A and B are shown apart, each in its own frame.
Chain A
C-alpha cells in the first residue's frame, strides 16, 4: 500500500522509477474521496491541480531535475494563500476568496515539485484549539471520531494520521501545530519565529504566527522544513540568514544531551496518564544517553493571560481588513456604510473570532492599553527570559504538549477559558519565539499523546535529531487507526 510507505521510501521509489507521482497522487486522492467525508479534514480538494503537478513532477523525475520531495503530494492548511485556489481560513468571511498569489511557503513547495492535494480544515482564522470553530464544521480525530483533532491545524494533523496526505503544512501561533500533532499522534515542528516566511499566510497574530511541517516522522519534517524555509524579503520579520540543513543532525547520538525538565510542566491540571507517557518518553531519551536536569519556568502561568491579550490585540487589527469592501463576504443590501461594516463582519465572522477581536480591541483602547497591552508585553519578556535562563543549564526542555489527550467534540465549545488552557504548555514557547515540536509518545485511552521538545533559537536540527533518534527506538509515529491502515 503506497500510503504505508515512509516519505523517504516514497522518495526512493519515485527516483528509482518504481512508482510515479501520478500514481501516488491518485492514490491519495482516492483515499480522500473515500475517507474525508467522515473526517472533514479538507476544505478544498484539488484533484486536477494535484494531477497536473504530479505529471510535471514525473517529468522532472525522468529528466533528472527532481529533488528529494519531488512528486510527493502535500496538503496545505487553508491559511496559506494558493494562487487560483480558494483560501478560506475556514471562515465564511473568505468562503469566496481566491488569492491571486501564492504564499511563499506554497511557492517554495511548488518549486520542490510537491503536488497539492488540497487545503485542510482549521479553526476559523486559526483561532482555536479544536478545529471546531471552522465555518465548514469540525474535523474529526481519526483515532476517535468523537474526539477533536486539536487545532488550529486540526485538518492537517488528521490527514497525516489518516493517511490522506503524506505531508502537510501547518501554522502555530499558540500551539496550533504541536497540539493537534499531539492529539493525532503525528510529528510537527514549529520553528524559531522568523525561520519561515509569513508572506501569503493569512495573519492571525503576526508576532506569534509561524509555519512548520506536519508529518509522520521527524525525518520527513526535517526534509519539509528544509524545503519550506528560506529568507524572503517580502516578510520583514523573516530572518536574513542562511538556513542550516535541518536534516544534517538526524543521525547524531544523544550521548551527553542535557534535557531540562521544568517542574512547572508537571503540576496541577496535567492528566496523570499524560504525565506517565511523557515521563516514560523522557526516560527513553535518557536511555539514549541524555541526562536529565531539573529546570524552572517560574512565570509559566503568566503565559496564557499574556497571550490572550497580545494575540487578540494583533488579531483585532489584522482582521480589520475584512470589511466587505474589497473582497470576502459582503452582507446583502447594506443601507449605508456603517451597516455594510456591521453586518458584513457580524455575519462573516464566527463567535470565537468576534470574541478575540473584541478582547483585543478592548486591550488596545485608550485608558486600557497600559494595563493590558503593555503589561502583557512585559509578561511576554518575563516568560521568554525564563526559557533563556533555563537553556543556560540544558540543551532542550521536555514536557507535555497538552494537559490531556484529545477531548470530545463539543466538550469545551461553551467554555472558552478551558479551551484556552489546552494550550498552556505550548503558548509560552510562542511568547518567546522558540522552536518546539511534538513527537508521538504513546496513547491514553486510545488517544495519542505527544512529547513536547523545546529548544533555544535555531535549534531545529537538534530537536529533529532528538525526535528522530526517539523514533528509531519507538514506533508510536508509525501507528495508524485501524480503519485508515
Chain B
C-alpha cells in the first residue's frame, strides 16, 4: 500500500526595517552582544512598546503578493512564557487578527503548477539568543535580536513531497526578497523554515507530525524532509508510532534526531496586549502599498518571454532576484529596448560569469548598466566585433574605463574601410597560392582558413562580414 506525505511550512521572515518592531534600537546583524538592546527590548520597568509602522506596510505587501485577505484590523497579543532570552516574559505576536489572512502561492514542480494555500502570516517580535558554553557552565544572553520584526508565514498542509516543500520555500524566498521586505539571508537567520512533516495512508486522517527546525539551506531542507519521510514510514511499517516532537537535522550524517517532545503542552495564556491599540489599516494605506509594489517575479517572467521574446531559461535567470531584474531592465532601457535578447545574453553569460567568479552580487557589479549599454551599442554600430567586444568587457571589468575610452586607448576600432580590408585580403591571397589552388579544386573549407589569416593579420579588427564578402568576390574572379 502506498503512503501519502503531508507537509506544512512555517517560515519566519525577518523584516528589513532599520529598527525593531516595538523600539528604536537597530536590528543590524553581528553587533557586540547586547549593544543593540534598549530599555524597551530589555523589558525594563515602565517601558512600553510602540509599533514600528514600517512593518505594517511590509506585511501588507506580502498579503497583496499572496492574493490574501488583508488584516484591516490587527491585534497584537501576548504569548506568555518564561525564558531568559525573552526579557518581558512574553512574546508580542498576532493571534486572532493577523496582518495577512488566507492566500496562496503557485509553485511549479516537474513542469506542473500547483496552488499552495497560505493559512496566514502574522507579525511578531523575535526573542534574543541564548549562547550556551561561552563561559563554562554558564549561558550568555544576547538580546540584540530581541524585538527584531518577524513575519511568520504559515502554509496549509498542501505540500506532498520534499521537492514541493522546497519549491514553495524557494518561491516564498524569491517573493519576500523581490518585495524587499526580507533580505533572505538564511545563514544569518533572516529566513527560517520550519517543516511539519507527517505521513498517512491515502484516505486516512492526518498522521502525527514531527517538526524540523533550524535548517539553513534549501538543499538541507529537502534532504531533511526526505529523511524524515523515510523515517516515519519505516517506523510505522515496523509497528512503531510517530510522536509529536521537534527534530533537528544533522547535515553530516543526513539524519534527523529528536530535540524535544511536546509532551507537556505549554499554556501560553494568550491575551490582547493592553499596551498596544489595534492596528487599523485603511484602504488608502493598502493602495499606497500596492502603488509601490514591484512587478512580481511570475509576472516579470511571463512578460520577458511574451513581450521580449526571451527564453524561459533567460527569463528565469533574470528574475532570480530583484536586483538582477532591475539591472536587466535598466540595460534594456539604455540600449533603446531594441534587442532584449542581446542584453539578456550579456548578463546571463559574461556578466554573470564574471560576478560569479569574483563572488559579487549584481548590485556590486563594477560594470554599470550604462557602461554595458555603450559596449553593446559599439557592436551594433560596427565599431567593435563581437570578439573584440569581449576584450573591452574584460578591460571594463578591470576598471580601465568606459568602452569608448578603452577602444580609443587600445586602438580596437573595427576596420570597416573597404580599401584597407581589400589590401589585407590581397596580402593573404598573395601569400597562399597553394591554398587558392586547393579552394578552386573544390576544398571550400579553405575559405575559413583565409578568413582566419585575414582576421589575424588585422589584429581581429577587420569587419568579418566585409572580409567574407570581399574574399568570395576575389576568389571567384
Q: Interface residues, chain A, CB within 8 Å of chain B?
A: 80-81, 87, 89, 94, 97, 99-101, 103, 198-203, 205-207, 233-237, 313-314, 316-317, 319-321, 323, 325-327, 337, 341, 361, 364-366, 369, 373
Whether B50 contacts A369 by the Cβ 8 Å rule is no
Whether B84 contacts A81 by the Cβ 8 Å rule is no
Whether B45 contacts A99 by the Cβ 8 Å rule is yes
Give the residue name and chain of the A residue nearest to B268 (CB).
A366
Shortest beta-carbon distance from B453 to chain A in Å: 79
Interface string of B40-55 (1 = CB under 8 A from A): 0011111111110000
Measured between beta carbons, the chain A residues less than 8 angstroms from B89 are: 317, 319-321, 323
Whether A202 contacts B46 by the Cβ 8 Å rule is yes
Would you call B80 an interface residue if the criterion is a C-beta within 8 Å of the partner chain's C-beta atoms? Answer: yes
Assembled-state Cα–Cα distance A316/B82 (Å): 12
With A199-B47, A314-B274 known, 15 other A-B pairs at CB within 8 A are: A97-B45, A100-B39, A203-B275, A235-B50, A236-B51, A313-B271, A317-B78, A320-B90, A321-B43, A321-B45, A323-B82, A325-B87, A326-B44, A341-B82, A369-B271
Q: Between A and B, how many residue pairs show CB distances below 8 Å?
A: 102
Main secondary structure of the interface of A (DSSP, over half): loop
Q: Given A321-B89, A323-B82, A323-B89: A101 and B43 within 8 A (CB)?
A: no
Interface string of B86-112 (1 = CB under 8 A from A): 011110000000000000000000000
Whether B267 contacts A235 by the Cβ 8 Å rule is no
B 21-71 contacts with A by CB, 8 A: 39, 42-51
Assembled-state Cα–Cα distance A81/B46 (Å): 7
Whether A103 contacts B51 by the Cβ 8 Å rule is no
Assembled-state Cα–Cα distance A203/B80 (Å): 16
Assembled-state Cα–Cα distance A320/B269 (Å): 12
Whether B46 contacts A317 by the Cβ 8 Å rule is no
Shortest beta-carbon distance from B140 to chain A in Å: 12
Measured between beta carbons, the chain A residues less than 8 angstroms from B308 are: none
Measured between beta carbons, the chain B residues less than 8 angstroms from A327 are: 42, 44-45
Provide 21 A-B residue pairs closer than 8 Å at the C-beta atoms, listed in order of the A residue: A81-B45, A94-B45, A99-B46, A101-B44, A103-B46, A200-B46, A203-B275, A233-B50, A234-B50, A236-B49, A236-B50, A236-B51, A314-B274, A320-B90, A321-B44, A323-B84, A325-B141, A327-B42, A364-B269, A364-B271, A366-B269
Would you call B277 an interface residue if the criterion is a C-beta within 8 Å of the partner chain's C-beta atoms? Answer: yes
Shortest beta-carbon distance from A394 to chain B in Å: 30
Assembled-state Cα–Cα distance A205/B90 (Å): 15
Whether B48 contacts A234 by the Cβ 8 Å rule is yes
Would you call B276 an interface residue if the criterion is a C-beta within 8 Å of the partner chain's C-beta atoms? Answer: yes
Give the residue name and chain of the B residue nearest to A319 (CB).
B89
Assembled-state Cα–Cα distance A199/B47 (Å): 6
Whether A202 contacts B45 by the Cβ 8 Å rule is yes
User: Top 6 closest A-B pairs, CB basis?
Assistant: A320-B89, A206-B274, A364-B269, A207-B274, A321-B43, A200-B46
Q: Given A99-B44, A199-B48: A320 and B82 within 8 A (CB)?
A: yes
Whether A89 contacts B275 by the Cβ 8 Å rule is no
Assembled-state Cα–Cα distance A233/B267 (Å): 33
Give the contact-size bracket for chain B.
20 to 34
Whether B80 contacts A364 by the Cβ 8 Å rule is yes
Whether A236 contacts B276 by the Cβ 8 Å rule is yes
Assembled-state Cα–Cα distance A321/B43 (Å): 6
Shortest beta-carbon distance from B272 to chain A in Å: 9
A320's partner among B51, B84, B88 (CB-CB below 8 A) is: B88
Whether A206 contacts B275 by the Cβ 8 Å rule is yes
Shortest beta-carbon distance from A357 to chain B in Å: 11
Measured between beta carbons, the chain A residues less than 8 angstroms from B44 are: 99-101, 321, 326-327
Measured between beta carbons, the chain B residues less than 8 angstroms from A337 are: 84
Measured between beta carbons, the chain B residues less than 8 angstroms from A207 are: 274
Whether B84 contacts A317 by the Cβ 8 Å rule is no
Measured between beta carbons, the chain B residues less than 8 angstroms from A316 are: 80, 269
Assembled-state Cα–Cα distance A161/B104 (Å): 66
Measured between beta carbons, the chain A residues less than 8 angstroms from B269 are: 316-317, 361, 364-366, 369
Whether B48 contacts A198 by the Cβ 8 Å rule is yes
Shortest beta-carbon distance from A418 to chain B in Å: 28
B84's partner among A198, A235, A325 (CB-CB below 8 A) is: A325
Shortest beta-carbon distance from B384 to chain A in Å: 60
Measured between beta carbons, the chain B residues less than 8 angstroms from A237 are: 274-277
Assembled-state Cα–Cα distance A314/B275 (Å): 10
Assembled-state Cα–Cα distance A307/B66 (Å): 42
Shortest beta-carbon distance from A88 to chain B in Å: 10
A201's partner among B46, B49, B90, B267 (CB-CB below 8 A) is: B46
Q: Given A236-B51, A237-B275: A321 and B87 within 8 A (CB)?
A: yes
Q: Given A317-B271, A320-B82, A326-B43: A236 and B48 within 8 A (CB)?
A: yes
Assembled-state Cα–Cα distance A341/B82 (Å): 8
Whether A326 contacts B87 by the Cβ 8 Å rule is yes
Measured between beta carbons, the chain B residues less than 8 angstroms from A101 are: 39, 44, 46
Assembled-state Cα–Cα distance A316/B269 (Å): 10
B80's partner among A89, A200, A317, A326 (CB-CB below 8 A) is: A317
Give the residue name and chain of the B residue nearest to A94 (CB).
B45
Measured between beta carbons, the chain A residues less than 8 angstroms from B50 are: 233-236
Assembled-state Cα–Cα distance A18/B44 (Å): 43
Assembled-state Cα–Cα distance A314/B50 (Å): 18
Measured between beta carbons, the chain B residues less than 8 angstroms from A81 are: 45-46
Measured between beta carbons, the chain A residues less than 8 angstroms from B80 are: 316-317, 320, 361, 364
Assembled-state Cα–Cα distance A212/B460 (Å): 88
Whether A366 contacts B48 by the Cβ 8 Å rule is no
Shortest beta-carbon distance from A225 to chain B in Å: 20
Give the residue name and chain of the A residue nearest to B266 (CB).
A366
Assembled-state Cα–Cα distance A325/B90 (Å): 14
Give the residue name and chain of the A residue nearest to B22 (CB).
A236
Assembled-state Cα–Cα distance A179/B82 (Å): 35
Give the residue name and chain of the A residue nearest to B76 (CB).
A236
Measured between beta carbons, the chain B residues less than 8 angstroms from A317 are: 78, 80, 89-90, 269, 271
Shortest beta-carbon distance from A126 to chain B in Å: 12
Assembled-state Cα–Cα distance A314/B88 (Å): 13
Interface string of B270-298 (1 = CB under 8 A from A): 11001111000000000000000000000
B42's partner among A87, A200, A326, A361 (CB-CB below 8 A) is: A326
Give the residue name and chain of the B residue nearest to A238 (CB).
B48
Whether A365 contacts B271 by the Cβ 8 Å rule is no
Shortest beta-carbon distance from A323 to chain B in Å: 6
Assembled-state Cα–Cα distance A214/B87 (Å): 34
Assembled-state Cα–Cα distance A100/B47 (Å): 11
Measured between beta carbons, the chain A residues less than 8 angstroms from B87 are: 321, 325-326
Which of B78, B89, B90 has the largest count of A CB atoms less than 10 A from its CB? B89
Assembled-state Cα–Cα distance A374/B90 (Å): 20
Assembled-state Cα–Cα distance A103/B46 (Å): 8
Give the residue name and chain of the B residue nearest to A200 (CB).
B46
Interface string of B403-437 (1 = CB under 8 A from A): 00000000000000000000000000000000000
B 125-167 contacts with A by CB, 8 A: 141
Which of A80, A207, A320 has the largest count of B CB atoms less than 10 A from its CB? A320
Whether B45 contacts A87 by the Cβ 8 Å rule is yes
Assembled-state Cα–Cα distance A341/B46 (Å): 21
Assembled-state Cα–Cα distance A361/B269 (Å): 7
Whether A321 contacts B48 by the Cβ 8 Å rule is no
Shortest beta-carbon distance from A119 to chain B in Å: 13
Measured between beta carbons, the chain B residues less than 8 angstroms from A201 are: 46
Whether B82 contacts A365 by the Cβ 8 Å rule is no
Shortest beta-carbon distance from A243 to chain B in Å: 19
Whether B267 contacts A365 by the Cβ 8 Å rule is yes
Assembled-state Cα–Cα distance A312/B257 (Å): 41
Give the residue name and chain of the B residue nearest to A340 (CB).
B84
Whether A373 contacts B45 by the Cβ 8 Å rule is no
Assembled-state Cα–Cα distance A327/B84 (Å): 12
Assembled-state Cα–Cα distance A314/B89 (Å): 12
B45's partner among A89, A325, A341, A361 (CB-CB below 8 A) is: A89
Give the residue name and chain of the B residue nearest to A362 (CB).
B269
Whether A205 contacts B46 by the Cβ 8 Å rule is no
Assembled-state Cα–Cα distance A198/B276 (Å): 12
Assembled-state Cα–Cα distance A87/B50 (Å): 23
